[in-house]
Amino acid sequence: MSDFSEHADAEQRDVERPAKCELSFTVNGTSRTVLVHPMERLLDVLRHELQLTDAKEGCGEGECGSCSVLLDKQLVNSCLVPALQAEGANIITIAGLTDGAQLSTLQKAFLECGGAQCGICTPGMLLSARHLLDRTPLPTLDEIREGLAGNLCRCTGYMQIFEAVSRAAKEENARRRTGA
Amino acid sequence: MENVVGKSMPRKEGRDKVTGAARYIDDMTIPGMIYGATVRSQIPRGKIKTVSFDPRFDWDEFVTVTAQDIPGRNCIALILDDQPCLADGMVNHPEEAILLLAHSDPYLLRKAIDGVRIEYEPQAPVFSIEESERQETVIWGSDNVFKTFLIEKGDVDEVWSAADYVVEGKYTTGAQEQLYIENQGVIASFDAEHGLTLWGSLQCPYYVHKALMALCGLPAEKVRVVQVETGGAFGGKEEYPSMIAGHASLLAMKSGRPVKIVYDRLEDMTATTKRHPSRTRHRTAVSEDGKILGGEIDFTIDGGAYATLSSVVLSRGTIHAGGPYYWPSVRIRGKAVATNMPPHGAFRGFGAPQSLFAMERHMDRIAQVVGLSPVEIRRRNFLKPGQTTTTDQTIREEIDLEKMLDRALELSDYKAKKEQFAQEDPRANTRRGMGIAAFLHGSGFTGSGERYLASVVGVEADADGTLRVLVSSTEFGQGTNTVLCQIAAEALGLPYESVCIAQADTDQVPNSGPTVASRTVMVVGNLVRSAALGIRQTLLASGLLRETHSAEEFRAACAQHVAGHGVLRSFARYEAPEGVFWDDQKYRGEAYATFAWAVYVAEVAVDLSTYTASVADFVALQEVGRVLNPVLAVGQIAGGVAQGIGFALYEKVVWQNGRMQNGQMTNYIMPTSADLPPIRVFFEELGNAHGAYGAKGIGELPIDGPAPAIINAVEDALGMRFDSIPLLAEDIFESVSIRSPGELLATGGK
Amino acid sequence: MRSDPADYKLVAPGRLEAVLSLLAEEREEWVPIAGGTDVMVQFAAGKLASRQLVSIWNLRELKGIAVASEEVRIGAACTYTEIRQSDVIAREFPLLATAAQWTGGIANQNRGTLGGNIINASPAADSLPALMAYEAEVILVSIRGERRMPYVGFHTGYKTMQLRRDELLKTICIPHRFDGYTQYARKVGARNAQAISKVCIAAVGRISGGVIEDVRIALGSVAAVPLRLTEVERTVQGNPVGPEIIARVPRMVAAAIQPIDDIRSTARYRTAVASNLVVEFLDKLRASESTP
């Protein structure tokens, strides 16, 4: 039997619907202000309010990591962050780690080693790799595996991603030593 | 000496992918766009009695589409055309689409789905191959059977009397979800003047084109399908996109607004296609010295509620059922049956992973019965050049499977490890084992399939000498864009950078066939080469170019030709090679233009305190004709092996009443970076007369072998038979507890 | 996304007293959200019962790891990453650091909190067995003041606990009691990372002259709540670890736990593995004496 009584409160609730709020944060170096509901997911704020589509939705439950962003330098799954909690934060997506025409060492390594196939996991994977290398400049294979375990890739079987991260780590370290 | 082909040229669209600039369907918006969603069946089978709409919603705000609104034929045109686009009076599987809604507010839309209440008159459903075969309940046609095939060679009925051994076995594989990380999505837009445009995440623009023509009652020139950057597919976006495209198109036509439909993970997993579950029975006559005399193979797949692609999956599975072995006599019966599950569909391997799992497990069984090693039994039965396959196809290339086996064993340190493992304490916590799988995969469409496709490829040259490849073959990570451009560049002696590839837009590119069946590099690549050479021919013929020319001269010639004659284009159409014969009735002859061959070796460790099997090392050796791009080729193999490991040990679809219960990434388990072993990839290259620059197809090959190699290794480690995948820790536990009920303790150390 | 953000209130008063005032409101219920790694999953699935949320992320009073003379005090809103980075936890309570490493991937460890793990009270929560083994105590706070209780009695049933409607979990206290103890933890999941546990064990023990002087064994995912195996502990305490004791473990473990068949695993499997892991711990305990 159809029973629509659970919607009985809907009309009432419509009157009391919580208002949107104005939130400001920095995204990829630029100050942005949005008018959103506080429970809107940061992922949706980025993609819909700000039209920054490089963070992707793969699962909506924090398993696949394709929505990963850096929030105040910490890797987080943006599908699990409510907008209100990102207020005042410094948010970086992969676009923010891209310096115009210049590809970073990590991005180049991914291209050379075959770390990106279909590319949908790649923005999140690159941010996770960046997060790892910022804390562990010369990671072992096991440390790479652990660092990337929150990013699912269905195409590569991970081998060439590990290679890319390893190569980038060595190059970055070499450059650091020579002060380049 | 080649300049471009054979080298790891960088991925054409790679820069966009590593900078976040790549645009997938959910990254796109069209002005005026609204969102579409699907109301789906909550029961597996029955009549739709009533559909009612919650009066709390203002339904005038919504676009609503039912089967009655379909302008053309209510079907997803594919092969048998038995699958409706929208259920009309009857539903045949959980999550079957019944009704469509669209609205500008995606959140409200979500609520509105729950506001549509459907009452059903349930009918008895069927959920397994065995139930379907019993035919107590007939849910499709007259007998629940979508398709059968029969392959017969030699005289099977005579082999039993001569046999020293008769070995039997039954092997089953479960459904597997493709789990592309990008969910299915499309945007449709319609106006009466231009017709219908559909952008989507898809493998086969012309499949969708054909389906939309039929569904929407539109002529070919009024339907345009454009593939956008696609985040993984693996077959899951071969035929299913026609359904979601149909839905968005109907909403767009009714509303006059562009409509986007993108699934979330739960809807994608529960409503779309999966790998066909299978059951294979083997009965084999074997001689004293371990040679296969003949046998019967009974290969059955569960097609779900509608026929869709089951006949083709069945075809490939049936043809591959005999593996890379010589069968003097064989009878192979293939059958696809109906159940009330969402239709199963294309997934990398396409029937071959299922039947090859059975064959390779069975070879180890035969070895045991006869008293030979898994290595020796294979040596004695491998196909040799000059011998014929189960369909009587003569192997014409100089493939030496014994030598490949030797090499794989050496690369994996098989012998030393087997000896070492055999000496390890049988009561230790960790038991280790080695397993082998030898197999083959036919490249391209079966039999007369390629002839029927009659693929056409174009190459266009601009005034500045840049080439553009025009194909409907799509990129979804496997490297289509890159390799086809490499081929065109090589053909004309041009730098790789001067070749690009057009977007797969049916308004812009000819139909080079679907991007499936490991055909793209081999078949379409060959046509790209021809079409590119056609450009050269045109320039030579018009006197603008000499036989030997530089890239500069080529550019100049193009500039002149375009200035004088306009667009410079060349087309090539597929022509079947001479002397290739296939009998569709008897299912006999040259099934494929060529086979790729492989021997895989898995090292497995089983932890007996948790009963968990994991792969510790994996060697993948394959003969692939010619490696056109080493980095991409290695990536294909590693990715396919990873999916094969998932198929064997991790990925289980939990069904209840025909519906997938674990439709989220938390509970459908694919391997993470912490789970996979080093996957060591090696190639051999025998060339291929029928493939571009000698290449064979490699996309699907790597998923055919890992599962049996792994399960063979588990059996080696534990001395227990497992004939069903996925093999989970719980399954190993049950087997161990039967063997030693009083010894459920891990007894490490004394 | 199966919820409409427009239907939800989320406020972040930023001060503990303001949060506690909201929790004390009679009329309507406010549910705290810290890092959101559980709440937001429910939200996205359309399964979040509450429409009013109050953010406790970064509340000063809920953060920090403080070392006092008798115990270490962990703020409930400490993330798994902060727990992993703590020297004192690594040194004295390694099982908790290990559990933090198990939970999700790095991104989820940066947001998930110890308090969230406790209050979400999934029977499969990774940190809870370690807290049980370490005899943690919890401090709960409301506008009425603070109260403190042993963690071992905190969970009373499936997702029910000794938390009053107006209370917030503030601090988790672990006594400096396990220096020199053998420590053992293991999680069994469907894969090596990002897995919900099928069985989870945390155990500490001290052995001298071959005899078990002190032992605590806790299991997760084998009942509606995390369990201390008090019967097993009582039996092995004061005894040498030998074949006789080991032989009794399976039956004792089976009697103590109530595992179920669910989407991830089976009761039979969980029982067998739980038993194996307890034996593995006892073996490790025995071996620890011979290893310097």
CA B22 – CA A110 distance, rounded (Å): 15
Chosen from B733, B736, B750 to mutate, greatest number of chain C CBs within 10 A: B733
A124 touches chain B (CB under 8 A): no
Cα-only R_g, chain B: 27
Residue of chain C whose Cα is closest to the Cα of A73:
C110
Instruction: Provide the terminal-to-terminal Cα distance of chain A, rounded to the nearest Å.
Output: 73
Name the residue facing B744 among C198, C250, C280 (closest C-beta). Answer: C250
CA B245 – CA B202 distance, rounded (Å): 10
pLDDT tens, A54-112? 999 999 999 999 999 999 999 999 999 999 999 999 999 999 999 888 999 999 999 99
Nearest chain C CA: its distance from B608 CA (Å): 9
For residues A120 and A54, state if they share a domain.
Answer: no
C122 interaction partners in chain B (CB closer than 8 Å): none
pLDDT band at C292 (very low <50, low <70, confident <90, very high): low
Give me the half-sphere count of Cα atoms (radius 13 Å) on the Cβ side of residue B10: 14
The arithmetic mean of pLDDT across residues A9-30, rounded, is 76
CA B234 – CA A115 distance, rounded (Å): 18
CA B341 – CA B273 distance, rounded (Å): 10
CB contact under 8 A, A122 and B18: yes
* Per-residue DSSP letter, A104: P
CA B722 – CA B732 distance, rounded (Å): 8
For residues A72 and A119, state if they share a domain.
Answer: no
CATH number, position A48: 3.10.20.30
C1 touches chain A (CB under 8 A): yes
How is residue C234 written in tokens? 């009582």
Secondary structure of chain C in the HEC alphabet? CCCCHHHCEEECCCCHHHHHHHHCCCCCCCEEECCCCCHHHHHHCCCCCCCEEEECCCCHHHCCEEECCCEEEEECCCEHHHHHHCHHHHHHCHHHHHHHHHCCCHHHHCCCEHHHHHHHCCCCCCCHHHHHHCCCEEEEEECCEEEEEEHHHCEEECCEECCCCCCEEEEEEEECCCCCCEEEEEEECCCCCCCCCCEEEEEEEEEECCEEEEEEEEEECCCCCCEECHHHHHHHCCCECCHHHHHHHHHHHHHHCCCCCCCCCCHHHHHHHHHHHHHHHHHHHHHHHHCC
- Chain B neighbors (3+ CB pairs < 8 Å): A, C
Sign of the dihedral defined by the CA atoms of residues C182, C183, C189, C192, in that order: negative
- Chain A neighbors (3+ CB pairs < 8 Å): B, C
CA B741 – CA B182 distance, rounded (Å): 45
Q: Could you tell me if residue A2 is inside a domain?
A: no
Distance, C-alpha B125 to centroid of its chain: 28
C11 touches chain A (CB under 8 A): yes
For residues A91 and A110, state if they share a domain.
Answer: no
**Cβ-count burial C141-165 (b if 16+ within 10 Å, e if not):** bbeeeeeeeebbebbeeeeebebee
Q: Which residues of chain B have pLDDT under 70?
A: 740-750
Those residues whose C-beta lies under 8 Å from the C-beta of residue B710, and which sit 6 or more positions away, are: B435, B602, B604, B613, B615, B644, B645, B648, B649
Those residues whose C-beta lies under 8 Å from the C-beta of residue A149, and which sit 6 or more positions away, are: B672, B673, B674, C105, C106, C192, C193, C194
CB contact under 8 A, C107 and A84: no
Name the residue facing A117 among B8, B19, B635 (closest C-beta). Answer: B635
For residues A88 and A160, state if they share a domain.
Answer: no
Residue C172 has pLDDT above 60, yes or no: yes
Question: With a cut of 0.90, is the ipTM above it?
Answer: yes
pLDDT tens, C28-86? 899 999 999 999 999 999 999 999 999 999 899 999 999 999 999 999 999 999 999 99
Q: Is A72 helix (H, G, I), strand (E, B) or coil?
A: coil
CB contact under 8 A, A149 and C106: yes
Q: Can you give the pLDDT at residue B20?
A: 97
For residues A137 and A74, state if they share a domain.
Answer: no
Residue of chain C whose Cα is closest to the Cα of A18:
C9
Q: Could you tell me if residue A117 is inside a domain?
A: yes
Q: Can you give the pLDDT at residue B580?
A: 78
For residues A72 and A129, state if they share a domain.
Answer: no
State the residue range of the domain holding A124. 105-178
Name the residue facing A41 among C1, C111, C192 (closest C-beta). Answer: C1
C107 interaction partners in chain A (CB closer than 8 Å): 62, 65, 68, 75-77, 128, 150
Q: Could you tell me if residue A88 is inside a domain?
A: yes
pLDDT tens, A114-164? 999 999 999 999 999 999 999 999 999 999 999 999 999 999 999 999 999
Neighbours of B89 (CB within 10 A): 10
C193 interaction partners in chain A (CB closer than 8 Å): 146, 149-150
Give contacts of A 128-167 with B, CB under 8 A: 144-146, 148-162
CA B353 – CA B703 distance, rounded (Å): 7
For residues A132 and A91, state if they share a domain.
Answer: no
B673 interaction partners in chain A (CB closer than 8 Å): 144-145, 148-149, 151, 153, 158, 161-162
Cα-only R_g, chain A: 20
Nearest chain B CA: its distance from A117 CA (Å): 4
Residue of chain B whose Cα is closest to the Cα of C243:
B750
Give me the half-sphere count of Cα atoms (radius 13 Å) on the Cβ side of residue A75: 32
Residue of chain A whose Cα is closest to the Cα of B54:
A4
Q: Could you tell me if residue A145 is inside a domain?
A: yes
Name the residue facing A157 among B479, B641, B665 (closest C-beta). Answer: B641
For residues A89 and A22, state if they share a domain.
Answer: yes
Question: Interface of chain C against chain B, CB under 8 Å?
Answer: 1-6, 45-46, 105, 188, 190-196, 198-199, 246, 249-250, 263-266, 268-269, 272-273, 275-277, 279-280, 283, 287
∠ CA B112-B113-B117, nearest 5°, is: 100
Residue B67 burial (C-beta neighbours within 10 Å; 0-12, 13-18, 19+): middle
CB contact under 8 A, C81 and A74: yes
Q: What CA–CA distances, in Å, run from C56 to B218, B345, C40, C52?
A: 57, 47, 14, 13
CB contact under 8 A, B672 and C193: yes
Whether the Cβ atoms of residue B211 and residue B76 lie closer than 8 Å to each other: yes
B733 interaction partners in chain C (CB closer than 8 Å): 268-269, 272-273
B264 interaction partners in chain A (CB closer than 8 Å): 57, 60
For residues A146 and A91, state if they share a domain.
Answer: no
Tell me which of A71, A97, A123 is where a domain ends: A97
B726 cis-preceded (ω within 30 degrees of 0): yes
Residue of chain C whose Cα is closest to the Cα of B262:
C1
Whether the Cβ atoms of residue B688 and residue B695 lie closer than 8 Å to each other: yes
CATH number, position A123: 1.10.150.120
C6 touches chain A (CB under 8 A): yes
Chosen from C51, C106, C187 to mutate, greatest number of chain A CBs within 10 A: C106
A28 touches chain B (CB under 8 A): no
CA B717 – CA B732 distance, rounded (Å): 12
CB contact under 8 A, C106 and A147: yes
CA B145 – CA B336 distance, rounded (Å): 6
Those residues whose C-beta lies under 8 Å from the C-beta of residue B110, and which sit 6 or more positions away, are: B37, C1, C2, C4, C46
CA B35 – CA B229 distance, rounded (Å): 20
Tell me which of A75, A97, A119 is where a domain ends: A97
CA B621 – CA B601 distance, rounded (Å): 8
Chosen from C1, C2, C8, C196 to mutate, greatest number of chain B CBs within 10 A: C2
Nearest chain B CA: its distance from A70 CA (Å): 14
Residue of chain A whose Cα is closest to the Cα of C39:
A80
Chosen from A22, A25, A85 to mutate, greatest number of chain C CBs within 10 A: A85
Tell me which of A38, A67, A97 is where a domain ends: A97
For the residues of B172-241, what is the DSSP string, one character each? EE-------SSPPEEEEEEETTTEEEEEES-S-HHHHHHHHHHHHT--GGGEEEEE-B-S--TTTTTSTH
For residues A152 and A119, state if they share a domain.
Answer: yes
CA C283 – CA C292 distance, rounded (Å): 16
Residue of chain B whose Cα is closest to the Cα of C242:
B750
Q: Could you tell me if residue A6 is inside a domain?
A: no
A-C contacts (CB, under 8 Å): 109
* Per-residue DSSP letter, B156: G
B734 interaction partners in chain C (CB closer than 8 Å): 268
CA A129 – CA A149 distance, rounded (Å): 11
The order of strands in the sheet holding B456-461 is B499-501, B467-470, B456-461, B568-573
For residues A88 and A134, state if they share a domain.
Answer: no
CA B437 – CA B725 distance, rounded (Å): 15
Whether the Cβ atoms of residue B447 and residue B589 lie closer than 8 Å to each other: yes
B671 interaction partners in chain C (CB closer than 8 Å): 191
C110 interaction partners in chain A (CB closer than 8 Å): 74-76
- Chain C neighbors (3+ CB pairs < 8 Å): A, B
A-B contacts (CB, under 8 Å): 179
Q: Could you tell me if residue A9 is inside a domain?
A: no
Q: Can you give the pLDDT at residue B746?
A: 35
For residues A68 and A40, state if they share a domain.
Answer: yes
CA B263 – CA B248 distance, rounded (Å): 12
What pairing do the DSSP bridges indicate for beta strands C52-55 and C31-33?
parallel
Which H helix or E strand runs over B707? helix B706-718
CA C242 – CA C211 distance, rounded (Å): 10
Q: Can you give the pLDDT at residue B748?
A: 30
Neighbours of B233 (CB within 10 A): 31
Give contacts of C 180-219 with A, CB under 8 A: 192-194
Q: Could you tell me if residue A5 is inside a domain?
A: no
Residue of chain A whose Cα is closest to the Cα of B677:
A159
Q: Can you give the pLDDT at residue B115?
A: 97
Q: Is B504 helix (H, G, I), strand (E, B) or coil?
A: coil
pLDDT tens, C229-251? 999 999 999 999 889 999 999 99
Phi-psi category of residue B387: left, alpha or beta, with phi > 0 → left and psi -120 to 50 → alpha: beta
CA C287 – CA B55 distance, rounded (Å): 71
Residue B42, phi then psi, degrees to nearest 5: -100, 0
Name the residue facing C10 among A39, A128, A147 (closest C-beta). Answer: A39
Whether the Cβ atoms of residue C165 and residue C108 lie closer than 8 Å to each other: no
Q: Could you tell me if residue A8 is inside a domain?
A: no
Q: What CA–CA distances, in Å, run from B161 to B45, B287, B332?
A: 47, 11, 19
Quickly list H helices, B493-550: 525-541
Largest CA distance in chain B: 90
What pairing do the DSSP bridges indicate for beta strands B145-153 and B97-103?
unpaired
CB contact under 8 A, A154 and B476: no
* Residue among B625, B668, B651, B632 nearest B707 (CA): B651
C188 interaction partners in chain B (CB closer than 8 Å): 610, 612, 729
Those residues whose C-beta lies under 8 Å from the C-beta of residue C230, and which sit 6 or more positions away, are: C256
The arithmetic mean of pLDDT across residues A35-60, rounded, is 98
Residue A36 has pLDDT above 70, yes or no: yes
Tally of domains within chain A: 2
Q: Can you give the pLDDT at residue A9?
A: 44
Whether the Cβ atoms of residue B208 and residue B245 lie closer than 8 Å to each other: yes
